[in-house]
Amino acid sequence: MTVTDGTIRHDWSVEEIVGLHELPLLELVGRANAVHRRHHDPNKVQKASLLSIKTGGCPENCAYCPQSAHHSEVDLTRDKLMDPAKVVAIAATAKAAGAERFCMGAAWRQVRDGKEFDAVIEMVEGVRALDMEACVTLGMLKPHQAERLAAAGLTAYNHNLDTSPEFYGRIITTRTYADRLDTLATVRSFGIGLCCGGIIGMGETVRDRASMLQVLSAMEPHPESVPINALVPVEGTPLAKRPRIDPLELVRMVATARLVMPGSTVRLSAGRSSLNREAQILCLVAGANSVFYGDTLLTTPNADIGEDAELFAAIGEPERACVSASAA
Ligand code: SAM
Ligand code: DTB
Ligand code: SF4
pLDDT digits (tens, 9 = 90+) for 28-60: 999 999 999 999 999 999 999 999 999 999 999
Q: What CA–CA distance (Å, rounded) separates 60 from 69?
A: 7
Give yes or no for residue 92 having a pLDDT over 80.
yes
Segment 176-186 shows an average pLDDT of 98
Give yes or no for residue 191 having a pLDDT over 60.
yes
Residue 252 lies in a domain: yes
Segment 130-144 shows an average pLDDT of 98
Residue 4 lies in a domain: no
Per-residue DSSP letter, 270? T
The predicted structure's pLDDT at residue 34: 98
* Confidence band for 317, pLDDT divided at 50, 70 and 90: confident
CA of 319 to the centre of ligand 1 (A): 31
Is 195 labelled as part of a ligand binding site?
yes
CATH label of the domain that carries residue 187: 3.20.20.70
Residue 19 lies in a domain: no
Residue pair 52/105 in contact (Cβ under 8 Å)? The answer is yes
Residue 222 lies in a domain: yes
What's the mean pLDDT when you consider all of the chain? Answer: 95
Segment 192-206 shows an average pLDDT of 98
Q: What CA–CA distance (Å, rounded) separates 161 from 165?
A: 8
Give yes or no for residue 323 having a pLDDT over 90.
no
Residue 62 lies in a domain: yes
Give yes or no for residue 26 having a pLDDT over 90.
yes
The predicted structure's pLDDT at residue 318: 55
Which residue from 157, 150, 47, 178 is spatially nearest to 108, judged by alpha carbons?
Answer: 157
Report the SS3 class of residue 54.
strand
Task: Please state, as a whole number, how many other Cβ atoms lie within 10 Å of the Cβ of residue 323.
Answer: 18
Q: List the domain range (segments joined by +) for residue 227.
A: 40-314
- Annotated catalytic, 195? yes
The pLDDT tens digits of the residues spanning 165-174 come to 999 999 999 9
Residue 12 lies in a domain: no
The pLDDT tens digits of the residues spanning 211-237 come to 999 999 999 999 999 999 999 999 999
Amino acid at site 58: C
Lowest mean pLDDT across 24-33, 205-214, 309-318: 309-318
Give yes or no for residue 264 having a pLDDT over 60.
yes
Give how far Cα 111 sits from Cα of 137, 155, 188, Å: 10, 18, 17
Give yes or no for residue 1 having a pLDDT over 90.
no
Q: What CA–CA distance (Å, rounded) separates 167 from 103?
A: 27
Segment 80-84 shows an average pLDDT of 97
What percent of the chain is predicted at pLDDT more than 90?
A: 95
Report the SS3 class of residue 51.
strand
Amino acid at site 323: V
Residue 328 lies in a domain: no
Mutate to test the pocket of ligand 3, among 51, 53, 68 (most ligand atoms within 8 A of CB): 68
Task: Please state, as a whole number, how many other Cβ atoms lie within 10 Å of the Cβ of residue 270.
Answer: 22
Give yes or no for residue 79 having a pLDDT over 70.
yes
CA of 5 to the centre of ligand 2 (A): 32
The predicted structure's pLDDT at residue 320: 47
Residue 122 lies in a domain: yes
Residue pair 25/248 in contact (Cβ under 8 Å)? The answer is yes
Mutate to test the pocket of ligand 2, among 58, 160, 235, 297 (most ligand atoms within 8 A of CB): 297
Count the domains in the chain.
1
The predicted structure's pLDDT at residue 325: 42
R_g of the chain, CA atoms, integer Å: 18
